[in-house]
Amino acid sequence: MLFKNILRGTIAASCIAAALSFTALASSSKEGAVDPIQIVVDSDYILYKVNDPVSRQTKQAYIVCDNAEFHFVSGSYNEAETIFYINEFLSGQDAGVSNRVLKKKVRMGEQLTMLPEDVFDEDVSDGSAYRFTDRCYDIRVYYGPGDNYDDFYFGLVDSKTFEKMSETIGFPEDKEEVTETSYISGPVVER
C-alpha cells in the first residue's frame, strides 16, 4: 500500500513537472530566434517609421520613392501566402481601413513589387500614393501550419522628399542587418 502511494505521488509529480516545462517552452519569447521568413528589399530605401492607420501605431518600415522591388528568403519554407494591403485613414474620420490589393502564393526568391503596376500607376497619377502621413503599405506573409504571419511595412514618398530624408536619416549600412531589425510579428488570427 505504501509503495502504491509513493508510486502515485512520483507519477503525479512527474506529470506536473512535464506540464510546467511544456508551458514554459510554449510561452518563451521569440527574442533571439531566427525569423521564419525575411524580406530583402532590392530597391533603394530608408529604414524609418510610418503611421499605421489600422493599428494606430508607428511601425518600422522601408521608405521608398518608387514601386519597391523585393523578395523573400527562408531556410524553413519554400513558399508562403502573401497579402498586399493599403492601410489608410478614412477621409474626414479618425479611423483607418485596410484595403486588400492582392493575395497570392509566392515562392522564396520570387521578385515582387510593393503594389501591382496598374494600382501603383493609378495612385501616383491621382496623388494618393504619396500621402505618407495618412497611408502605409503592408505586406503580410503567412507561414507554417497555423495562421502565423509577419507584416512588412512600406512608406512611399516622392523623389524630392526621399532625397531630403536620405540626407538627414541616411541609407542603411548593411541590408542583412536591416532585415533582422525589421521583423514585426502579428498575432495569430483567422484569415
pLDDT band at 155 (very low <50, low <70, confident <90, very high): very high
| 100 inside domain | yes
Q: Which residue has the higher pLDDT, 140 or 96?
A: 140
Closest listed residue to residue 109, CA positions, set 70, 76, 72? 72
| 131 inside domain | yes
- Per-residue pLDDT, 19: 54
| 5 inside domain | no
User: Which residues constitute the domain of residue 49?
Assistant: 38-185
pLDDT band at 66 (very low <50, low <70, confident <90, very high): very high
Q: In CATH, what number is assigned to the domain containing residue 126?
A: 2.60.40
- Per-residue pLDDT, 15: 54
Sheet of 69-73: strand order equals 38-41, 69-73, 112-113
Contact 148, 5 (CB under 8 A): no
Residue 128 has what DSSP assignment? G
| 180 inside domain | yes
Q: Is the pLDDT of residue 7 over 70?
A: no
Across the range 161-185, mean pLDDT stands at: 62
| 4 inside domain | no
pLDDT digits (tens, 9 = 90+) for 29-57: 344 445 689 999 999 999 999 988 888 88
Across the range 111-125, mean pLDDT stands at: 93
Degrees to nearest 5, angle at CA 12 with 7 and 13: 100
| 117 inside domain | yes
| 29 inside domain | no
The residue with cell 501591382 is 116
Grid cell listed for 13:
509529480
Q: Which residue has the higher pLDDT, 4 or 73?
A: 73
Q: Which residues pair with 102 in a beta bridge?
A: 84
Number of domains in the chain: 1
pLDDT band at 13 (very low <50, low <70, confident <90, very high): low
Average pLDDT, the chain: 79
